[in-house]
Amino acid sequence: MSPGQYATLEKLISQFEQVMVSLKLQDQWFHGAGSLLGSLQHHDLIPWDDDADVCAHLRYRQRIQQALKNLWPKFGTEIDSAMGEEFLQSYRKFSLGHIYPLTYRPFGKHWYPAPRRPISFLKTFYSTNKQYYSSHSYSHALEKVIVAKYMDCGRLAERYAFVHRCPIPEEERGNTPLGFCDEHLVDGSGRSVHKIRTVLDPEEMTIPLFTVRHELFKCPREILCKAIY
């Protein structure tokens, strides 16, 4: 994605957020699919992605579509439906407990709403068995079908920075029932570019999905333990 395309996509997400605020639905939408994956993996868009994915409950469909009419064709919508305790999108089912209450996650220079259990949510989108990444099979810039490309995860880590999730030290957790996680953006040399503390359920912190762990990077707590023992 070129810098110009990235800037345009940033603007579109910001415009969508403003629309949701104007409708007083700022707490009823969230990043999903590729955008949520980008936040988990890169704290930003997936470098080879070219669109943004946002979700909202079906009950708000007409209000949102009416508000977005003046912005078409920049925005495209897909209709999903909620059935009881499950959120249904075509052939996928989502547990509402994995989505609500929403939290916020870093995305580029901003923080946007995200499912409470993002890893569990994404497991319904993407295979947990494949050890490679693929590009889109459709180009939004060219508006046509293209041939998807596949690459081993390890090779991508040499070129792109990936997030490494580290549980925070026990003495910093306090009595809060929330789980906190230090997310390090690690570059191809194994260096931590930045660290952001996020809210993440403890059982999701150690799941080795939707990221690439650099062999040279260790969580600070792991390094301390090795030094002591």
Chain mean pLDDT for the chain: 80
DSSP letters along the chain, please? --HHHHHHHHHHHHHHHHHHHHTT-TTSEEE-HHHHHHHHHHSS--TT-----EEE-GGGHHHHHHHHGGGTTS------EEETTEEEETTEEEEHHHHSS-EEEEETTEEEEE-SSHHHHHTTTS-SS--EEE--SEETTTTEE----EEEHHHHHTTS-EEEEEEPPGGGTTT-SS-EEEEEEE-TTS-EEEEEEEE--HHHHT---SS---TT---HHHHHHHHH-
* Per-residue pLDDT at 134: 60
Higher pLDDT, 24 or 95: 24
The lowest-confidence range among 31-45, 112-126, 208-222 is 208-222
pLDDT by residue (tens digit) across 184-228?
Answer: 999 999 999 999 999 998 888 888 888 888 889 999 865 444 444
Q: What is the pLDDT of residue 99?
A: 92
pLDDT of residue 135: 56
Q: For residue range 131-190, what is the model confidence (pLDDT) as tens digits?
A: 556 655 555 555 656 566 666 767 788 888 999 999 887 777 666 667 889 999 999 999
Alpha-carbon distance of 39 to 179, in angstroms, equals 18
What is the band of 48 on the pLDDT scale with cuts at 50, 70, 90?
Answer: confident
> For position 161, what pLDDT does the model report?
93
Nearest CA to 105 among 13, 183, 157?
183
